[in-house]
Structure 1
Amino acid sequence: MGGPTTHASAIERLQALIRIPTVSYADRDLIDPKPFEEFAEQLERNYPLLHQHLEKTIVRDHGMLFHWKGTAATRPVVLMAHIDVVPVEETDTWQHPAFGAEIHDGVLWGRGTLDDKGCLAGICEAVERLLGQGFTPEQDIWLSFGCDEEVMGQAAPAAVEILRERGVSPWFVLDEGGAVAYDAFPGVKPPLAVIGVTEKGITNVQLSVEGRGGHASMPTRMDTTARLARAILRLDSNPFPSSVPPPTIEMFRRIADHLPGPLRPILGPVLKNTDKLKPVLARALVAAGNESAAMTRTTTVVTTLSGSPANNVIASKATAGVNVRIMTGDTVAGVVERIASVINDDQVHVDVVESNEPSPLSPTDDDAFRLIEATINQTHPDAVPTPYVMMGATDSRFFTAICARVYRFAPFRMSKAQRESIHSFDERIGVDDWLEGVDFYQRLIEGIA
Structure 2
Amino acid sequence: MTAVPVERRVVSALQALVRIPTVSDRDASLVDASAFDRLLAELAAQFPLLHERLALTIVGTHGLLFHWAGASAERPVVLMAHLDVVPVDTEAPWQHDPFGGEIHESPTGPAIWGRGTLDDKGCVVGICEAVETLLEAGHVPAQDIWLSFGCDEEVSGTAAIEAVAVLRDRGVTPWLVLDEGGAIASGAFPGVKAPLGVIGVTEKGTTSLELVAEGRGGHASTPARNGPTARIARAILRVEKSPFPASAPAPTLELMRRLAPHVPLPLRPLLGRADQLAPVVTRALLAAGPEAAAMTRTTVAATTLSGSPALNVIASTAKAGLNIRVMVGDTVAGVVEHIRKAVADDSIRIDVIESGEPSPISPMDEAFELLEDCIGEVFPEAVATPYVMMAATDSRHFTAISAHVYRFAPFRMTKAQRQAIHSYDEHLGVADLVDGARWYQLLIERLPS
Q: TM-score, normalised by structure 2?
A: 0.95
Instruction: Note if contact 2:238-2:343 (Cα within 8 Å) is conserved in structure 1.
Output: yes
- In the other structure, the counterpart of 2:156 is 152
Q: Alpha-carbon deviations, 1:342-389, whole Å to 9, x = none?
A: 22221111111111111111111x000000000111111111101111
Superposition deviation, residue 4 in structure 1: 8.6
- In the other structure, the counterpart of 2:368 is 369
SS state of the match for residue 229, structure 1?
A: helix
- In the other structure, the counterpart of 1:238 is 242
SS state of the match for residue 65, structure 1?
A: strand
User: How far apart, in 2, do the equivalents of 1:270 and 1:7 lie?
Assistant: 43
Is it true that 1:224 corresponds to 2:228 in the alignment? Answer: yes
Superposition deviation, residue 308 in structure 1: 2.6
Cα separation, partners in 2 of 1:88 and 1:309, compared to 1, 3 Å: closer
SS state of the match for residue 87, structure 1?
A: coil
- In the other structure, the counterpart of 1:162 is 166
Is it true that 1:212 corresponds to 2:211 in the alignment? Answer: no
- Aligned residue runs from structure 1 range 17-416, under 5 A: 17-105=17-105, 106-259=110-263, 263-264=264-265, 266-364=266-364, 366-416=365-415
- In the other structure, the counterpart of 2:15 is 15
SS state of the match for residue 140, structure 1?
A: strand
Is it true that 1:439 corresponds to 2:443 in the alignment? Answer: no
Unmatched runs of 5 consecutive residues or more in structure 1: none
Cα separation, partners in 2 of 1:233 and 1:88, compared to 1, 3 Å: closer
Superposition deviation, residue 320 in structure 1: 1.4
Which residue type is aligned with residue 423 of structure 1? H
Which residue type is aligned with residue 322 of structure 1? L
User: How far apart, in 1, do the equivalents of 2:445 and 2:185 lie?
Assistant: 25
User: How far apart, in 2, do the equivalents of 1:131 and 1:274 lie?
Assistant: 45
Q: TM-score, normalised by structure 1?
A: 0.95
User: How far apart, in 1, do the equivalents of 2:5 and 2:308 lie?
Assistant: 62
Q: Alpha-carbon deviations, 1:374-429, whole Å to 9, x = none?
A: 01111111111011111111111111111111100000111111111111222111
User: How far apart, in 2, do the equivalents of 1:45 and 1:216 lie?
Assistant: 59
Matched residue count: 442
SS state of the match for residue 135, structure 1?
A: coil
Which residue type is aligned with residue 301 of structure 1? A
Cα separation, partners in 2 of 1:49 and 1:355, compared to 1, 3 Å: same
Cα separation, partners in 2 of 1:310 and 1:255, compared to 1, 3 Å: same
User: How far apart, in 2, do the equivalents of 1:387 and 1:132 lie?
Assistant: 34
Cα separation, partners in 2 of 1:11 and 1:307, compared to 1, 3 Å: closer
Cα separation, partners in 2 of 1:293 and 1:10, compared to 1, 3 Å: closer
SS state of the match for residue 424, structure 2?
A: coil
Cα separation, partners in 2 of 1:92 and 1:212, compared to 1, 3 Å: closer
> Percent identity, aligned pairs only?
61
Which residue type is aligned with residue 167 of structure 2? L
SS state of the match for residue 41, structure 1?
A: helix
Superposition deviation, residue 236 in structure 1: 1.2
User: How far apart, in 2, do the equivalents of 1:44 and 1:252 lie?
Assistant: 43
Which residue type is aligned with residue 116 of structure 1? D
Unmatched runs of 5 consecutive residues or more in structure 2: none
Cα separation, partners in 2 of 1:283 and 1:5, compared to 1, 3 Å: same
Is it true that 1:424 corresponds to 2:428 in the alignment? Answer: no
User: How far apart, in 2, do the equivalents of 1:220 and 1:19 lie?
Assistant: 52
SS state of the match for residue 437, structure 2?
A: helix
User: How far apart, in 2, do the equivalents of 1:214 and 1:8 lie?
Assistant: 63
Which residue type is aligned with residue 316 of structure 2? S
